[in-house]
């Protein structure tokens, strides 16, 4: 059982926080790519040179993750599978045909874009000497400062439109894959409804059915509770412990009262 709580949190409504826990390696990879891609696109809209640094850092991390295996192939297979499954719903009367068709077209578009970049889509970024020099120096604490990389410092002093255009050009190599991952995660997150659950004494345990295909656990917690879940799990079962941060002690402690939360198992 994986005891590390790899939780991605974000606001889901005015009074809730959402926490997610992947239950397999592919989902961990997808969530990390989404996390980095959001960082990159968010900072790309900010004009400061520090934001451009953050963009380059996120891009380097994305490339490092994608270089570890045939993630493009996995994403293509999953896109094909989802298109096939959704097409089977077209003959069902109660299905929203318009929305279904729109979703299928969107997945097919992502698939086509990913096919177009080809299996060597990372090569332009790998061969870029400027990016390689930044990557090598990034392994050293503070290694990308001005006296270490004067060319990087010079580039960061260029106008925002110039820096933005350059980053967007580099981004084209990984954008089709990152957009496809985002589409697949959207489908997964909306595949099941949330259910109300109770954590007895701040702890909740759930056994998953044998042979299930669960890959993601989502927990929504009311903001007013000022609590967060610590999740450990595998494809067999998962456990949630709700924690409260105690500033005076400088560490979290387990919440020991009963509490309600919303659970989605995808």
Would you state the pLDDT for residue 12? 56
pLDDT tens-digit series, residues 205-219? 999 988 788 999 999
For 224-261, the pLDDT digits (tens) are 999 999 999 888 899 999 999 988 777 899 999 999 99
| pLDDT for position 186 | 95
The residue with greater pLDDT, 59 or 245, is 59
173 and 241 fall within a common domain = no
Whether 160 and 139 map to the same domain: the answer is: yes
Is 119 in a helix, a strand, or coil? coil
Which pLDDT does position 113 carry in this prediction?
96
Q: What pLDDT, on the 0 to 100 scale, is given for residue 185?
A: 97
C-beta separation of 2 from 233 below 8 A: yes
Q: Quick one: 94 and 157 in the same domain?
A: yes
The answer to whether residue 3 sits within a structural domain is: no
Please tell me the distance from the alpha carbon of residue 3 to that of residue 79, in angstroms, as a whole number.
30
Structural domain includes residue 146: yes
More confident residue, 235 or 57: 57
Report the number of distinct structural domains present in the chain.
Answer: 2
The answer as to whether 19 is a domain residue is yes
- Report field, pTM of the whole predicted structure over 0.85: yes
pLDDT at 163 exceeding the cut of 50: yes
2 domain residue, yes or no = no
Q: 180 with 244: CB under 8 angstroms?
A: no
Q: What is the pLDDT of residue 262?
A: 95
Using the CB atoms, write b or e for 100-115: b if 16+ within 10 Å.
eeebbeebeebbeebe
- Percent of the chain at pLDDT above 70? 95
Same domain assignment for residues 153 and 220:
no
Quote the mean pLDDT of the chain: 91
Taking 90 as the threshold, does the pLDDT of residue 93 lie above it? Answer: no
Domain that holds residue 222: 8-25+193-265
**Per-residue pLDDT at 10 exceeds 60:** no
Assess if residue 1 is contained within a domain.
Answer: no
pLDDT of residue 9: 47
With bands split at pLDDT 50, 70 and 90, how would you rate the model's confidence at 13?
Answer: low
């Amino acid at each position: 059982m994986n005891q590390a709580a790899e939780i991605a949190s974000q606001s889901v409504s005015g009074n809730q926080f959402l926490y997610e826990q992947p239950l397999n390696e592919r989902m961990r990879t997808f969530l990390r790519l989404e996390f980095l891609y959001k960082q990159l696109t968010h900072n790309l809209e900010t004009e400061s040179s520090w934001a451009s640094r953050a963009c380059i850092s996120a891009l380097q991390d994305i490339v490092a993750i994608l270089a570890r295996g045939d993630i493009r192939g996995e994403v293509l297979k999953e896109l094909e599978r989802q298109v096939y499954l959704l097409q089977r719903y077209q003959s069902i009367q109660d299905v929203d045909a318009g929305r279904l068709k729109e979703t299928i077209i969107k997945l097919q578009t992502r698939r086509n874009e990913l096919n177009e970049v080809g299996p060597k889509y990372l090569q332009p970024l790998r061969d870029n000497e400027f990016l390689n020099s930044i990557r090598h120096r990034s392994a050293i604490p503070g290694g990308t400062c001005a006296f270490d990389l004067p060319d990087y410092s010079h580039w960061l002093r260029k106008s925002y439109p110039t820096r933005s255009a350059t980053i967007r050009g580099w981004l084209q190599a990984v954008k089709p894959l990152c957009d496809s991952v985002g589409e697949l995660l959207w489908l997964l997150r909306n595949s099941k409804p949330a259910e109300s659950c109770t954590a007895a004494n701040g702890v909740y345990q759930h056994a998953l059915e044998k042979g299930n295909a669960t890959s993601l656990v989502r927990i929504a917690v009311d903001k007013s509770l000022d609590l967060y879940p610590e999740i450990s799990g595998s494809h067999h079962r998962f456990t949630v412990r709700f924690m409260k941060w105690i500033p005076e002690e400088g560490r979290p402690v387990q919440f020991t009262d009963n509490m309600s939360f919303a659970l989605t198992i995808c």
